Amino acid sequence: MTVVYEDNHIIIVNKTAFEIVQGDKTGDTPLSETVKLYLKEKYQKPGNVFIGVTHRLDRPVSGLVVFAKTSKALTRLNDMFKNGEVKKTYWAVVKNQPHEPEGELVNYLVRNEKQNKSYAYDKEVPNSKKAILHYRLIAKSQNYYLLEIDLKTGRHHQIRCQLAKMGCPIKGDLKYGSPRSNPDGSICLHARFVRFIHPVSKELIEVEAPVPTGNLWNGFEMI
């Protein structure tokens, strides 16, 4: 991880595609603990350091994760994420060109806990949740297309599932129909921008995460 923004109440990091945001059954060190350690060492803090997790980012996804450094910020940020007051923009690399260069996808997603996978439907079905995103084709390379995605809702695997439903699975995402995995186990989905009003100072916070290194992400020509 790399720290891209920090103040008294918030710390925002650019995570790699191997780090988990919160602890899970793998027992791997979560990003929340790495951030705690970073703060402990940076400020020479004795005892425990407070870090609040405000949202998730799937393990194989890279990009911006917002953590709270105070309980006051955590409570407010949790509400802001819940109410859609935090604008998150993602970049996704896909093999197939979308039929339309820009559009809004509306589907109904059903989550299968056992498979850790979501399924998209065109109409409402039992236990489904409405999922909305806006996509725009912004660049292309010799073999791939780069989509910019704004989430209107925050469902389980929403971008991965909806893009696959559209016929554009994300590069490396075997679970949702990509023919091949990426050598490093990542998928080519990156949380690129985050924008919100600071929960305490009320200033506008806008942060951008550099894309992962390598030829793939850097080989695009903007359209």
Tell me which of 24, 58, 79, 150 is the catalytic residue. Answer: 58
Cα gap 62→91, rounded to integer Å: 10
Dist. CA 5–CA 210, nearest whole Å: 13
Supply the DSSP symbol for 170.
Answer: B
* Catalytic site includes residue 184: no
Q: Do 69 and 195 form a contact (C-beta atoms < 8 A)?
A: no
* d(C-alpha 124, C-alpha 107), whole Å: 8
Chain center to CA of 89: 8
Question: Beta strand pairing status for 189-197 and 62-68?
Answer: parallel
Q: Which H, E and C letters describe 15-44, residue by residue?
A: ECCCCCCCCCCCCCCCHHHHHHHHHHHHCC
Catalytic residue set = 58
